[in-house]
Each structure stands twice: as C-alpha cells, then as structure tokens.
Amino acid sequence: DELVPQMGDDLYDGLKDEVAEGVNILLERGWAPYRILTEALVSGMTVVGNDFRDGILFVPEVLQAANAMKAGMAILKPLLAETGAPKMGKMVIGTVKGDIHDIGKNLVSMMMEGAGFDVVDLGINTDVDQYLGALETEQPDILGMSALLTTTMPYMKVVIDTMAERGIRGDYIVLVGGAPLNEEFGRAIGADAYCRDAAVAVETAKAFVA
C-alpha cells in the first residue's frame, strides 16, 4: 500500500494527525489492526531509532515521533482489545526505574488485553517497592518488566532478587522485554522468559498460564 511509506515519513516528522489519519484509512481499506501496528507504526519507529542512534535525530524530534506513534496506537487499542477472547489471567507490567520509554510496554499491554489478559500498567520509572506492592494488591499471574536502556536493564535483577529474598519469586511468572535484552540476559537474571516482541509476549504468557 503506497500509504505505508507516507505514514513512515509522517511518523518520522512527528505529524500526529497525519499518522492518526493514515491508521484510519488503512482500517477503512480492511487492514487488520495488528498489521497496521507492525507494518506501518513499529517499522516507522525503527527508522527513527536508527537515525537517533546515528545522531541525525535528537530527543525533541524522537519525542514528537513517539507522540505521533501513540496517536496511532490510541486508535488501534480498542480494536485490539475487543477480540472477545476468553479470560486468560492477569499481568502487572511496568518500565523499570530510571527508564521512561513506554511505547513497547504499551504495545505489550494492548496485545495482552486483546488476548484476554487483565493488565495493570504501573507506567514508567517503576521501582522495586511499586512492583512488589502491586504484586501484593493485584495478585497477578504474571509480572512483566520493560527496559530500553543498557543502564536500566540490570534493575530487573534487583526486582527479581528482592522477590526471591521475600520468598515470593515462585508465586509469579516473570516475563521481561525491551530492545537491548536477549534470551541469555533473561536467563542470567532469573526471569522465566525473555520476550522479543509483543506477539511473543502473548504466546509466552499463554503457554505459562495454560
């Protein structure tokens, strides 16, 4: 569809209204919400990420791109959530302390809700007390943690170690994700699984609660 590269440009330029309009047009053309998410929005953000890394884009521009992405995601959210899937379980999720990246986490939350999970989103910059407090009050099946920075990903281990110290590690399935992580890191910190993307998070969560 010729609209997709245009949407990539609009996302890159942080044009919120245009990105939202593009999402609506693709929906009218019969695109599935998940396809729009991955092929039009996430792919566009990859280009932004590369130019950010290479010093072509800076924080203010990336923030605008992120906001444009969120405008598109807001339209897709109810559509992804209304699949009428049977209730699967409950997940508490948050981006770890020191880290304010939330697009990936939000996407995982949306997809988990779409798959029938109740999701309690703790937001960004979540410290160990917030995670553990939520585990106690919400009693979820799953704890999800997201980190996008190499400097914040070690905090996941702090949370898991604290759970172990309190004797509650075995009560929850711990799933972790975020661009700088990998399977080996997930194993090393004692998570149950590393999830490469939101679709894998859903499949992994389903497999664990089954």
Chain positions contacting ligand B1M, by CB under 6 A: 42, 45, 48-49, 52-53, 59, 62-63, 66, 93, 98-105, 107-108, 144-146, 148-150, 175-180, 195, 197-198, 201
DSSP SS3 for 123: coil
Which C-beta is closer to ligand B1M: that of 30 or that of 60? 60
d(CA 196, CA 203): 11
Closest distance of CB 8 from ligand B1M, Å = 13
Rounded to a whole number of angstroms, the minimum distance from the CB of residue 209 to ligand B1M is: 13
In the bound state with ligand B1M, the residue whose beta carbon lies nearer, of 2 and 59, is 59
Closer to ligand B1M by Cβ: residue 26 or 73: 73
In the complex with ligand B1M, the residue whose CB is nearer, 30 or 33, is 33
Strands (E), the chain: 89-95, 117-121, 142-146, 173-177, 193-195
Tokens 């490469």 found at: 196
Q: Cα separation of 107 and 112, whole Å?
A: 8
Q: Provide the minimum distance between the beta carbon of 87 and ligand B1M in the complex, in angstroms, as a whole number.
A: 18
Ramachandran angles phi, psi of 120, nearest 5° = -110, 115
